[in-house]
């Protein structure tokens, strides 16, 4: 699933292709509700930006397109006449300007809204502070994570709640927890403020590094993965075997290093992987 940093990069590319240009043609296809994109033909794009995992493309007639990719969606930018790298039947949205074609493939959400209504549009207005915003408000993110409704969530689940803090998906959940040495099964209410703040700031630094923004880690690019999709392999730091277990309402696989991210007294025990009976 694309996370905040991927959406930021998509916004940069889509914005570079469209900003300041008149939309010459627009079409949209199902499945699902189809936005009335004829309303932006003739309008000029005023920019594209990401917020959390949403991409917003604005136009000078007061309309804005919102796309959310969920698991499989993606944005491509082509030159006119260039062959697409995905089948046309998967295109959900096509925007043409004089020198570029922007195509969205497979996004389950593409909708056209009034820009002035965004502030009341729950998928956008309900987001927590965005980790990639330059004026990211860490105190507000912590306040939201501390909401009583999240007290009993495990931190591996809570840090991906976009209404608390926007931008972290499954990859950066894994990596930021590893980098602060936090076991994913600790509950939010059990975490001291300094540890919770440290985790959020680490996630911010990793996301910023991924998009080439200055960050507290001094990284200049996306780092290698330490635990994400490395279950069963040796930890790159201590050579302990990386474990994994199902976590959260989505029952996602979460991987962690049992030595670098130790269990803390009083926390929930991480699941023990049952050995599958071998077929003779």
> Could you list the active site residues?
2-3, 53
Q: Which stretch binds Zn ion (CB under 5 A): 178-186, 187-195, 219-227, 258-266?
A: 258-266
Minimal distance in Å, beta carbon 230 to Zn ion? 10
Count of CB atoms situated within 10 Å of the CB of 27 = 14
- Is 151 near Zn ion (CB under 5 A)? no
Out of 259, 263, 267, 268, point to the residue binding Zn ion (CB under 5 A): 259
Q: Helix 193-210 crosses helix 138-145 at what angle (to 10 degrees)?
A: 120
Out of 143, 237, 241, 273, point to the residue binding Zn ion (CB under 5 A): 237
- Is 241 near Zn ion (CB under 5 A)? no
Report the site for Zn ion in 212-231 (rule: CB under 5 A).
Answer: none
Q: Which stretch binds Zn ion (CB under 5 A): 110-118, 130-138, 182-190, 232-240?
A: 232-240
- Is 23 near Zn ion (CB under 5 A)? no
Residues in contact with Zn ion, counted by CB under 5 A, come to a total of 7
Phi-psi region of 128 (alpha: psi -120 to 50; beta: other; left: phi over 0): beta
Minimal distance in Å, beta carbon 204 to Zn ion? 23
Binding mask 90-129 for Zn ion (x = CB under 5 A): ----------------------------------------
Chain CA centroid to CA 104, Å: 17
- Is 257 near Zn ion (CB under 5 A)? yes
The residue of the chain with the least Cβ separation from Zn ion equals 235
- Is 242 near Zn ion (CB under 5 A)? no
On the question of a cis peptide bond just before residue 60, with omega within 30 degrees of 0, the verdict is no
- Is 38 near Zn ion (CB under 5 A)? no
Minimal distance in Å, beta carbon 175 to Zn ion? 13
CB nearer Zn ion, residue 53 or residue 243: 243
Token pair of 224 as six digits: 């290698």
Out of 50, 215, 260, 270, point to the residue binding Zn ion (CB under 5 A): 260
Q: Are 159 and 128 spatial neighbours (Cβ–Cβ below 8 Å)?
A: no
- Residue ranges binding Zn ion (CB under 5 A): 235, 237-238, 240, 257, 259-260
């Amino acid at each position: 699933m694309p996370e905040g940093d991927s959406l930021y990069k998509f916004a940069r590319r889509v914005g570079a292709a469209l900003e300041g240009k008149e939309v010459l043609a627009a079409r949209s296809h199902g499945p699902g509700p189809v936005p009335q994109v004829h309303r932006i033909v003739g309008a000029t794009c005023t920019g594209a930006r990401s917020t959390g995992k949403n991409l917003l493309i604005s136009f000078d007639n007061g309309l804005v397109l919102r796309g959310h990719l969920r698991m499989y969606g993606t944005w491509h930018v082509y030159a006119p006449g260039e062959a697409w790298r995905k089948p046309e039947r998967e295109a959900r949205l096509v925007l043409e300007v004089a020198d570029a074609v922007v195509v969205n493939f497979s996004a389950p959400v593409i909708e056209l809204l009034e820009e002035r209504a965004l502030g009341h549009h729950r998928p956008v207005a309900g987001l927590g502070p965005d980790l990639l915003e330059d004026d990211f408000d860490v105190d507000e993110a912590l306040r939201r994570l501390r909401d009583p409704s999240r007290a009993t969530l495990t931190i591996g689940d809570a840090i991906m709640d976009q209404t608390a803090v926007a931008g972290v998906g499954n990859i950066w959940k894994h990596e930021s927890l590893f980098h602060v040495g936090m076991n994913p099964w600790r509950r939010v209410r059990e975490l001291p403020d300094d540890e919770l703040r440290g985790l959020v700031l680490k996630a911010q630094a990793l996301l910023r590094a991924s998009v080439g923004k200055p960050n507290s880690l001094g990284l200049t690019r996306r780092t290698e993965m330490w635990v994400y999709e490395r279950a069963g392999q040796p930890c790159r730091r201590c050579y302990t075997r990386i474990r994994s277990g199902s976590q959260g309402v989505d029952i996602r696989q979460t991987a962690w290093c049992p030595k670098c991210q130790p269990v803390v007294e009083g926390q929930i025990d991480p699941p023990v992987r049952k050995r599958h009976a071998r077929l003779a």
